[in-house]
Amino acid sequence: MFICFLFFNVGILRIQSIYNSTVDEMIGARVAGLEQPSRPLSIAEVVHIASYAQQISTPTNSVFDALPQAVTWTDAATRLAIQGGLIEMSNGLQVALLESTREYYRQRRCECSLQDLQSEADWQRRNKHLLLPRRTRHCSQNLAHCPPKHDPFRKVKTYFHDICQGKHLAVIKRNSKDLQTASPACRYHHNGNNWLQVGPIKVEDITISKPRITIYHNAMTDTEIDMLLKIGTTNLMPSKVFENSSLQLTEKRISSQNHLTDMQSSSVLSQFLRRIESATGYTLTSQWSDKPRVIGYAVGGFFDVHSDYVETSNAGDNNRMATMLVYLNDVASGGDTVFPWINLRLRPTKGAAVIWENQSRAGRNQRASVHAACPVLAGQKWIYVHHIMKFGNEFTKPCALTESD
């Protein structure tokens, strides 16, 4: 649950006037790790950071436990709010922290701690006149005994970390029917298109099935990259992850991104998208398409193991049948794209477009398409991501007749 919804419930809307575009941009850059503070933080900035810490305290798959930071920043923001006469804000911050803490324990299935929290909430309702509600110590003491929430990628994350460190994982058990890695095969490809027959595209087949992964070298020209970076690196916002039925800021993903509008995509990417459509047969632009994104990773930025397909019980839902990732620069060190299940690591190469299948031709999600982005060790990493949707590709990429295809 986003913390802003909690703020609505306690009447915190009146602090919106404190925020301005300069503060929002600076906080967004600070969260993304792109700049450092050079002056004392204002009340609005401390509240903003406290709210962010509360947001990332609940996801159990975070790299580190953010609840202590949420408590520390909330206490600091509360003190500043009281000093500034913003009593309603101080109470709202404490109530929001209480809700975040309750969700923190709920995700870890700590029933005894939930009872303590409920008792604390009852005490708070009986003592609304007090500025600072009491927090039960017993809850925090029980935290160490709480079991972690089930993580479907827990095992494969170990592979991810090792592959990023350059280790070759012979221990990964491959299913020969599902995972078939191709020998390096480079070729010129035109897909029967008259335009590409004049200037064929360089193609490298990485895998041949489940998931099929192909690299189109020099797919995007330097001119197209420069134009894309010019419009894509403005108005960057911290990247979010879809968890618990909502988009959330989480330590599983450290990057900034900008969703491109239809007008921006058509003016800058029209020739590139037409070139890729001709080479692959995919329909990249339709009324059902996702908004393409430009994503930037600073030093230390990474994206933990995740899937691009959406888990759904209805096979007829629109889903991300494939993904196209274009590297917009050469990374000085780190930033590789890793597919842990097949022990594959791809080095960022400027202008190269990597396309992989997230679903089989029968529409089944492919577990082997789970991937991650290694931390950037030096320099920056810029990529263009375009999710290819099932709707709009019914005729160009028809469904297979059997589930095994």
96 domain residue, yes or no: yes
Tell whether 404 is covered by a domain.
no
394 is a domain residue: no
Which ranges of 32-110 does DSSP label H, i.e. alpha helix? 43-55, 67-83, 87-107
State how far the alpha carbon of 124 is from the alpha carbons of 91, 100, 118, 150, 342, in Å: 11, 15, 10, 32, 52
Residue 401 lies in a domain: no
346 and 373 housed in the same domain: yes
Domain boundary among 109, 127, 145: 145
Preceding peptide of 59 cis, ω within 30°: no
Q: What's at 314, amino acid-wise?
A: N
Band (pLDDT 50/70/90 cuts) for residue 290 is: confident
pTM here? Answer: 0.65
In which band, very low, low, confident or very high, does the pLDDT at 106 lie, cut at 50, 70 and 90?
low
Please report where in the chains the tokens 């972690």 appear, as a residue: 148
Ranges 147-161, 233-247, 311-325, 356-370, most confident? 356-370
CATH number of the domain that 356 lies in? 2.60.120.620
pLDDT at 230 over 80: yes
Decide which of 95, 115, 145 is a domain's last residue: 145
Verify that 339 and 211 share a domain, yes or no: yes
Highest mean pLDDT among 58-67, 163-172, 338-347: 338-347
Residue 256 lies in a domain: yes
Same domain flag for 140 and 47: yes
Separation between Cα atoms, residue 284 and residue 289, nearest integer Å: 7
**C-alpha dihedral over 6, 9, 14, 20, to 10 degrees?**
30
Distance CA 337, CA 90 (A): 43
Listed as own residue / partner, the contacts of 72-78 with beta carbons closer than 8 Å and 24 or more positions apart are 73/46, 73/49, 74/50, 76/46, 76/50, 77/43, 77/46, 77/47, 77/49, 77/50, 78/132
Would residue 402 count as lying in a domain?
A: no
pLDDT per residue over 63-80, tens digit each?
456 677 777 777 788 778
Q: Answer yes or no: is pLDDT of 12 > 80.
A: no
DSSP state of 341: G
Rounded Cα gap, residues 289 and 277, in angstroms: 14
- The domain in which residue 342 lies consists of 154-389
Phi, psi of 200 (to 5 degrees): -60, 155
Weakest mean pLDDT among 2-11, 23-32, 258-267, 387-396: 2-11
pLDDT of the residue at 111: 46
Q: CA nearest 303: which of 293, 311, 312?
A: 293
Looking at the structure, do residues 158 and 229 belong to the same domain, yes or no?
Answer: yes
Residue 384 predicted with pLDDT over 70: yes
Look-up: residue for tokens 């999600």? 365
Same domain, 131 and 173: no
- Most confident region among 53-62, 125-134, 246-255, 380-389 by mean pLDDT: 380-389
Domain shared by 129 and 166, yes or no = no
103 against 8, higher pLDDT: 103
pLDDT at residue 16 in the model:
32
**Does 398 fall in a domain?**
no
The winner for highest mean pLDDT among 66-70, 106-110, 244-248, 366-370 is: 366-370
Last residue of a domain, one of 145, 172, 199: 145
Number of domains the chain contains: 2
Chain-centroid distance, C-alpha 229: 20
Q: Binning pLDDT at 50, 70 and 90, where does residue 1 land?
A: very low
Give the residue-averaged pLDDT of 33-45. 64
Per-residue pLDDT tens for 140-199?
444 444 455 566 777 788 888 888 988 766 555 444 344 444 455 788 888 888 888 888
Residues 301, 365 within the same domain: yes
From residue 12, give the alpha-carbon distance in Å to each of 20, 127, 310, 361. 16, 20, 34, 49
For residues 99 and 168, membership in a common domain is answered with no
Strand segments (E) across 119-200: 180-189
Q: Are residue 201 and residue 281 in the same domain, yes or no?
A: yes
One domain for residues 133 and 45: yes
Task: Indicate if 205 and 134 belong to the same structural domain.
Answer: no
Residues 169 and 138 in one domain: no
Q: Which helix (H) or strand (E) holds 297?
A: strand 293-297
User: Are the C-beta atoms of residues 397 and 281 closer than 8 Å to each other?
Assistant: yes
* Average pLDDT value for residue range 238-254: 81
**Burial tier of 159 (Cβ tally within 10 Å: 0-12, 13-18, 19+):** buried
Q: Which whole number is the average pLDDT over 303-315?
A: 83
Query: Is the Cα dihedral 201, 227, 291, 246 positive or negative?
Result: positive
Q: Is residue 405 part of a domain?
A: no
